[in-house]
Structure 1
């Protein structure tokens, strides 16, 4: 029976190579915006939002686009100003960022204190939920996260209520519980796959989300104050990126059906798990580790340039022609998140004794961009910059965080943007299900009776 099943699977898989193929010329013929991208690589406008804004170019009067330094805005506030303001006051800021994205304004001191206390008090998991996570040993953490989010529906007394107050309550609960779910899921993964001791730590009262995540992952005394600041910064920088990024758009599309919050967020998690969306920083770390061995002299610009050109020519590393961490769908001249993270990553490198590695990474930053521009040309559609993944991978690796939690960390941050966009989709935009069209280009066929097939 198994052989028959295998044969049928093989036969069907061979068939879909033909039946699923659509000639690229047809997309041009019918003016289809592949990937919802215009010919100038800008995104097709599919909706309106006040949550976040991603700026990498500007339109010029004579037509076309002009590359400009990248900007990211949360509720109209420049993220660079937000981060520098927090640093000037020597404060962590993820909780404040979550408040800003959900509410639309920066909280006063007492508002922030109360909001942070509510988030902290909601971090512990139901005992049954904890046990269910422990039973899922050896599975991908993103899948465990999605399953756990769907499980939260069963504990919610009003899971389908889409009133603003209920949406805020659900959002707070999700933001609070993501770090706990991820830390517990990793610890059982480590226990089952690496035969390590199993540690399930209760979240600390009064601690920030960033510190609690490191505490639940590593234990007391296993992380520094700078580690906490870097995790907090990464959470701020990944919290929101406009309504058009794939996972947020997935949440908005799903939310437009008026489904429950947990189903919509699970859709976002599924999107983020995809290697073309989340997980790019893992590839950067893997590439960086390879380059540290492949390039003998880390100070030799000629050797670096030559090897990067070989990578672009598909003659080196994994022969894909890609340099991971370089380029972005919107940012052209610069990615503001990369600039902000680089500033702090340098301090982390000094603390961890990785100054030489960081200097090499900085060289790769500039040389890789130059190599790509030389290889592809310098028009706006080819102009590239280092993106945030280039440095976030280094930061996580320097802290000793396992690659298994890199993408879940992304989700732990982006849940703030997802929930803010869901609230906006359900309450403040035109309530209409998102339903684009697909042009059918298949042939019409007559039905064939069974005895003539």
Structure 2
């Protein structure tokens, strides 16, 4: 046996094992119909199997008219408050709103001015890392995928917590506040470590207690720590919109599942991060950006609807971009007519594109948003409407803010950790049983034979 194996090598033996697994693990799609199994825990209309109850957020995508469910413009509520009003309130008052949203999600009501200030102070107090943590954990063996770096850092923080396994409500609240506070640091420092390994300069700025989460993100990331109020405000809106999205999304459901086992907060957050990392979940906006970069290269005239439409058709025909047959950023598991988060972001994107001199790109996005549903509906059977989702515009926002692609999904996590925390606390308070759904066995049975006879 080699003393220094190549851990990245896929040997012929490994390939053979993979082929065996493939040949012995394929389930007949007809069996899902036969046993009435909802693949992805969703029916053909995209409606999820009800697996629990929550008071944290509500997604509205349908209305009942004359006893029939009909699609409607999407609405998102945090603890009963319309997200559009929450964002509009902060815009009107020219302040940052993510911290207010985090407070609302965690405790169930909006804070007073004094409570919000105290909450911000609590986060500022927790927005620091253990002595030498950056040197001993973050800077060692940096990962090119910052989500892996973030998850590793979160698990390592458990080693510095004398009450890591204490699941009493006050202790979990303390841990959750720390997670909300340090996720921006762990994300940006993880990126800086990766960037340094790539031969670039290393910048490790200290957070400033007087700054909001959005402001600290930009100040920590940029070499000169500079940013405009408008840049920070747009990023803050993104954090507000990504903070929570019901209990059924993959990473939040993961939070409920692992919390129900009685595990600690650090393991719970690492599991949620592992779920969010997937390109079908948190990594979707990266796919949108890369798709548009390919589109801008292939489409000669960005204003030519026929040329843009032909490219979109090529996407569906698996002849363009990654040949997956998808128009990224179009469609959602729940929303049909519209995603309220995309509607909110659209107005900010238009203004930011003018400020950054990128109106032609914005016009291209708008055209794709308009033509995409038309192309999809002409190609495939539709069980519900298709519209632009939040990922369609969020990646463009980050791109205009000069945020590195590697941080798109970690920034999602910086926001969503507030929702995860609220759901973890809700599960702990109401938990009755460990979450354990059933799987129907559809394989064969065999008689055991001694090794020499096989």
TM-score range for the pair, normalised by the shorter chain length: over 0.9
Q: CA deviation at 1:300?
A: 1.7
Distance 1:318 1:143 in 2: 24
- 2:306 equivalent to 1:275: no
User: 1:75–1:319: structure 2 CA closer, same or farther, 3 Å change rule?
Assistant: same
- 2:360 equivalent to 1:359: no
User: 1:362–1:40: structure 2 CA closer, same or farther, 3 Å change rule?
Assistant: closer
Q: Deviations over 1:221-244 (max 9, x none)?
A: 542211101110110000000000
- 2:110 equivalent to 1:109: no
Q: CA deviation at 1:159?
A: 1.5
Distance 1:154 1:133 in 2: 14
Greater alpha carbon shift after TM alignment, 352-361 vs 261-270: 352-361
User: What is the match of residue 263 of structure 1?
Assistant: 267
Distance 2:45 2:387 in 1: 17
Q: Deviations over 1:51-105 (max 9, x none)?
A: 1111212355555x41110011101111011111111111110000000000000
- 2:234 equivalent to 1:233: no
Match of 2:224 among 199, 220, 226: 220
User: What is the match of residue 424 of structure 2?
Assistant: 422
Distance 1:382 1:358 in 2: 27
User: What is the match of residue 400 of structure 1?
Assistant: 402
Q: Which runs of 5+ in 2 are unaligned?
A: none
- How does the TM-score come out when normalised to structure 2? 0.95
Distance 2:64 2:34 in 1: 26
- 2:449 equivalent to 1:445: no
- How does the TM-score come out when normalised to structure 1? 0.95
Distance 1:15 1:44 in 2: 33
User: What is the match of residue 76 of structure 1?
Assistant: 80
Greater alpha carbon shift after TM alignment, 239-248 vs 355-364: 355-364
SS in structure 2 at match of 1:127: coil
User: 1:308–1:440: structure 2 CA closer, same or farther, 3 Å change rule?
Assistant: same
User: What is the match of residue 251 of structure 2?
Assistant: 247
- 2:168 equivalent to 1:163: yes
User: What is the match of residue 63 of structure 2?
Assistant: 58
Distance 2:126 2:223 in 1: 20
1:298 and 1:360 in contact (8 A); partners too? yes
Q: Deviations over 1:160-212 (max 9, x none)?
A: 2222211111110000000000110101111101x111111100121111000
2:218 and 2:225 in contact (8 A); partners too? no
Match of 1:370 among 366, 374, 378: 374
Distance 1:424 1:444 in 2: 42
Q: CA deviation at 1:20?
A: 1.2
Q: CA deviation at 1:294?
A: 1.6
Match of 1:288 among 292, 299, 304: 292
Distance 2:166 2:143 in 1: 34
Q: How does 1:193-212 map to 2 (within 5 A)?
A: 193=198, 195-212=199-216
Match of 1:46 among 39, 51, 54: 51
User: What is the match of residue 133 of structure 1?
Assistant: 138
- 2:27 equivalent to 1:25: no
Q: CA deviation at 1:291?
A: 1.4
Q: CA deviation at 1:319?
A: 2.4
Q: Deviations over 1:226-267 (max 9, x none)?
A: 110111011000000000000000010000011111111111
Between Structure 1 and Structure 2, how many residues are aligned? 448
Greater alpha carbon shift after TM alignment, 344-353 vs 298-307: 298-307
Q: How does 1:320-399 map to 2 (within 5 A)?
A: 320-377=324-381, 379=382, 381-399=383-401
Q: Deviations over 1:369-424 (max 9, x none)?
A: 222223225x5x24100001111111111111111000101111100000100000
Q: CA deviation at 1:275?
A: 1.4
1:376 and 1:382 in contact (8 A); partners too? no
Q: CA deviation at 1:439?
A: 1.0
Match of 2:149 among 144, 148, 159: 144
Distance 1:8 1:448 in 2: 24
Distance 2:67 2:22 in 1: 44
After the TM superposition, which parts of structure 1 deviate over 3 Å for at least 4 consecutive aligned residues?
1-5, 58-63, 219-222
